[in-house]
Amino acid sequence: MQEMWKTFFSSGSFIPHGHCYLWHTPLVWLHVASDSIIALAYFSIPITLVYFISKREDLPFNWIFALFGAFIVACGITHIFELWTLWHPTYWLSGTMKAITALFSFATAILLLDLIPQALALPSPAQLESANQLLEAEVVERQLAEAALQKAKEELEIRVEERTAELKSQTQHLEFANRLLGSEIVERQLAEAALKQAKEELEIRVEERTAELKSQTQQLEQALSDLKQAQSQLIQSEKMSSLGQLVAGVAHEINNPINFIYGNVTYVRQYTDSLLELVYSTSGCYEVQ
């Protein structure tokens, strides 16, 4: 392997390419100048492509530009090796670089063939111009719409400011009314507190008056009871008095017959005895017979 690398980078028994030109100075310098300019051009083109790709990230198939850049750099390196082999016959290294360039070129050609249908499907300049005109018309319409929208926005801002001023005025009125309402509420609360206190005092007075009336009612009930009892006693007394008068009248009426009877009891007894004797005597006579 080491011998192969040495062969790869060594000149071996080859002679420089300049011998083919017999070291003819004008011819050598012609090739040097041509290969140098071509190499510089090859190296500048990829730089331009890379800059272009970095600025236009929206481009489709930007990878093909990178592949073209790699192919062109490889071509530039082959021209550098053409200059190198004029004095140094490292043809193995030069041929390897050409092989790499061939691979890049072949891959680029194959991928480019595959890319052609997709590239053909891209819009043509006329289509792009038509689309551009449509876009310009749309841009004009959008600008008109934006102008109308801006005008409507300004009118809306004016209306909003007017409405804001009106709402601010209404808010001030509402705040004033709110303050009046607050003061009225405070007054009403004070009135309610005073009313509540008066109510409590009235309830206390009512309770006291109720207790007083209850006491008076009890006293009146007691007096009424005493009155009823006195009336009952008076009625009883009247009844007893009437009964006494009645009894006295009855006794007076009975007393006369009783006195009459009492006064004649002796006579009655005598008459009774006489009658009894008469009866006995009479009954004895009948028995003897």
pLDDT value at 201 more than 70? yes
194/198 Cα distance (integer angstroms): 6
What are residue 16's phi and psi, to 5 degrees?
-60, 155
- At 12-49, the pLDDT tens digits run 666 676 667 667 778 778 777 887 887 787 777 777 77
* pLDDT reported for residue 229: 84
150/167 Cα distance (integer angstroms): 24
- At 82-132, the pLDDT tens digits run 777 777 676 666 777 777 777 777 777 777 777 667 666 666 667 667 777
29, two tokens: 């310098």
- At 218-257, the pLDDT tens digits run 888 888 888 888 888 888 877 777 777 777 777 777 777 7
Q: Could you tell me which residues come within 8 angstroms of residue 87 by beta carbon, excluding any fewer than 6 positions away?
A: 16, 18
In terms of Cβ atoms closer than 10 Å to its own Cβ (0-12, 13-18, 19+), residue 74 is: buried
- At 240-249, the pLDDT tens digits run 777 777 777 7
133/33 Cα distance (integer angstroms): 49
205, two tokens: 């007075």
3-state secondary structure of 289: coil
Q: Which residue has the tokens 């007054």?
A: 187
* pLDDT reported for residue 287: 45
* pLDDT reported for residue 82: 77
Q: How many residues does the chain have?
A: 289
